[in-house]
Amino acid sequence: MFDLDRWREIFQSINKNRLRSVLSGFTVAFAILLFTLLFGIVSGLSNSFKDAFADDAMNAMTIRVWKTSKPYKGLQTGRRVQLRNADYDYVKEEYDNKIQYQTARIFKSVNIRYKSKADTYRLRAVHPDHQFLEKTIIDEGRYLNERDLKEKAKVLVIGRLIKEDLFGEKPALNKRVNLNGSSFLVIGVFSDDGGDNEERQVYMPVTTAQMMYGNNDYISQINLGYNPDLSLDAAIAFGNKMERDLRKRMNIHPDDQSALSVRNMAEANKGVGQFMFILYLIVIIVGSGTLVAGIIGISNIMIFVIKERTKEFGIRKALGAKPASIVGMVVQESVLITTIAGYLGLSLGTFILAQIGDTLEDYFIKDPSVSPGIVIGATITLILAGLIAGYVPAKRAANIKPIEALRAD
């Protein structure tokens, strides 16, 4: 393989027959370019989908309640369903081994004032696990802890943008702010990948909120993170069972979606997973088709090239070339052209994808790129293609008797 003279022969042959070499190279380069773009765009779509769910944990589940829409056991339609601490504890005990994180949520709108500045923000009163479910990133200070809950402490964790609104460049940590007339201590500042709205939230212990708002045990919502060891199907089954159990416990019609429902990311994940799988399947089929077309293209050109060179092979054989040396020469030339052309196509494709970058985000294509695995796979395919495209016709040409080859024109 590493025969300098052989390479010299090949470079000479390619160089002296540029049009032919460029043509065969072009077919391959174009096929690989299309292949790369196709894969890149689908990976861009896939990135957009992943991003759409990036705000919350992938294993998030939400128990939501509203009003009954079906009469049940003598209870009327339109009854308001209320979650309480007891329901929270029930879920915790009943499904302990299936749950990774659990938090309650109470939603309120609050007015926060610091010195001369004030504005209205959305409050979430939560348990400490909320941090992991919401993927809250603590920039300064700390998040809520169990002790805050137990002591019903008047503490707040505020979003990065609230800090900017009220404190500007000045530090907010350990400052006291006025929330709906009460004094609260800022114990942490957070950021969140979910966007500006998420960063204008304020968190307080759920117990503090219950004390402040009517001194009851009401909660608005229960959020869970299911045990990540569960398979998607097991997680979906868990969500369905919990939904049935809770409806039964709270005297709700078993099919009343409006009264109580469990939103389960596992279901969305499964849907997206299936969608992406089908998309990739289509791309693999179309992409392979493109590659095959490229391979057939180069095979055609190689057949033509070898026909054109039959006489040359005859001369070489009369001068003492062994058939293997002719086959080797042609195959090496073919592999060289396919590999170089393939890399050109691949590089151009990658370059175009890099240029696209975020510009097509409106069309749900984000950061399109091809993975190294695909690049390596395509390269191996190329080399194999070059090998086959060169070998088959060259073998035939090398087996023609020199006398016939010399007669060819």
Partner 1 sequence: MIKIEKLHKSYPIGKDSLHVLKGIDLHIKEGEFVSIMGSSGSGKSTLLNIVGLLDIHDEGNYYLNGQLIKDLNEKKAAILRNKFLGFVFQSFNLISYKTAVENVALPLYYKGMNRKERLQIALEYLEKVGLKDWANHLPNELSGGQKQRVAIARALVTKPKVVLADEPTGALDSTTTDSVMDLLKAINDEGMTVFVITHEEEVAEQTKRVVRLKDGVIISDEFTKAAKAV
* Binding site residues, partner 1, CB under 8 A: 4-5, 8-9, 12-13, 16-17, 311-312, 314-325, 398-399, 401-403, 406
Q: Could you tell me the maximum CA-CA distance found in the chain, to the nearest angstrom?
A: 106
Q: Which is nearer to partner 1, 323 or 357 (CB)?
A: 323
CB of 318 to partner 1, least distance (A): 5
Q: Which is nearer to partner 1, 169 or 409 (CB)?
A: 409
Q: Which is nearer to partner 1, 248 or 322 (CB)?
A: 322
Distance (Å, whole) CA 143 – CA 147: 11
* R_g of the chain computed on alpha carbons: 34
First to last CA, the chain: 31
Q: Which is nearer to partner 1, 284 or 315 (CB)?
A: 315
Q: Which is nearer to partner 1, 14 or 38 (CB)?
A: 14
Output the DSSP codes for 324-387: HHHHHHHHHHHHHHHHHHHHHHHHHHHHHHHHHTTTTGGGT--S----HHHHHHHHHHHHHHHH
CB of 302 to partner 1, least distance (A): 18
Q: Which is nearer to partner 1, 24 or 59 (CB)?
A: 24
CB of 320 to partner 1, least distance (A): 3
Q: Which is nearer to partner 1, 1 or 4 (CB)?
A: 4
265 Cβ partners below 8 Å, 6+ apart?
Answer: 53, 56, 57, 58, 59, 60, 61
Q: Tokens 């610091």 map to which residue?
A: 114
Q: Which is nearer to partner 1, 319 or 372 (CB)?
A: 319
Q: Which is nearer to partner 1, 170 or 401 (CB)?
A: 401
Distance (Å, whole) CA 205 – CA 245: 27
CB of 344 to partner 1, least distance (A): 24
**By three-state DSSP, how is residue 101 classified?**
strand
CB 160, CB 220: distance < 8 Å: no
CB of 323 to partner 1, least distance (A): 5
CB of 5 to partner 1, least distance (A): 6
CB of 393 to partner 1, least distance (A): 17
The size of the chain, in residues, is: 409
CB of 315 to partner 1, least distance (A): 5
Q: Quickly count: other Cβ atoms within 10 Å of residue 122's Cβ.
A: 14
CB of 314 to partner 1, least distance (A): 8
Q: Which is nearer to partner 1, 58 or 408 (CB)?
A: 408
**Amino acid residing at 91:** V
**Amino acid residing at 74:** G
Q: Tokens 């032919």 map to which residue?
A: 20
CB of 303 to partner 1, least distance (A): 20
Q: Which is nearer to partner 1, 286 or 408 (CB)?
A: 408
**By three-state DSSP, how is residue 92 classified?**
helix
Structure token pair of residue 144? 């809520």
**HSE-CB of 307 using CA atoms within 13 angstroms:** 6
Distance (Å, whole) CA 123 – CA 346: 51
CB 267, CB 66: distance < 8 Å: no
Structure token pair of residue 17? 């027959």
Output the DSSP codes for 15-74: HHTHHHHHHHHHHHHHHHHHHHHHHHHHHHHHHHHHHHT-SS-TTEEEEEE-B--S-BTT
CB of 404 to partner 1, least distance (A): 9
